[in-house]
Structure 1
């Protein structure tokens, strides 16, 4: 075997090993963002479990607000169904967008619920309601941290798969992952300070 043939075989072997390492890193990054989504899923499930208890506690105080209570439960059910679909396929962009939309609707329904609950002093004084609201607030923070970790993992995966020559190896097998974006209308509004 000539020196040229040996060099050619070594170069081919190096290219194959490099391609395999890119493929393996793509698999690892994909699994990392799927795992990050499973952390979101755990916190969302905890949130979905708290909401019916919150509504049930508020029912006797907010009898006149049945539409709001129903809207919260319906939004919770839609979000839970979207979360289940997304958990089955965290790499499906459509499932992530559906979940983000459902979570936005749930956030809006809960915001309206909390605003209306302010009109019921007995409800605000209820210890069960206060405990549930505290747990829900804590869970919301956990969801936010888990969502940030997921979005970071998705961004790392997408960046790696788009770099050259990784994009060639990724081809059609590794589609871009979708960030989980939840539209929070309250967070977009400016803070109004008043010293009246």
Structure 2
């Protein structure tokens, strides 16, 4: 994973509650075995019609939100099944940060383990972000170290678990943490090896 410290990006608002993982990445695209290439299928049933043409009414198809990398959504984002493909699709599409009042627990954990910063903000602050980004292009600067969101008159603070913060800043996942103990693991295995 890449270390996450300060990030600046364009906001795209998804003004819906209970966006589930099947809406984020529909089940028919889960046959792929690699982690990359899912971005083209992100929000597929909303982005495209039944014949595969872009739906001009869906927000990601609007030129104003081209290259957006910060997603702002409503309550219970990422509910539904526990598919890790959902954060893979969001990340592959280009989203680095998600801001919402609440998330489904498994989705929240999957995002963090894949290097996506998920920020929980009060609903009124999310309302303000959604409204501002609908009126005109909204760019935000997110500082994970300072735990701040700044841009266009906005200056908010967010909370994050210290361990999650450290993992994102260092760009480490659980495997990388385990590999940090490689020498100790090897020594233990040698000491407790089964002799034939």
TM-score range, shorter chain: under 0.3
Q: What TM-score comes out, normalization by structure 1 length? A: 0.22
Q: What TM-score comes out, normalization by structure 2 length? A: 0.22
Identify the structure with the greater helix proportion: 1
Greater C-alpha radius of gyration: 1
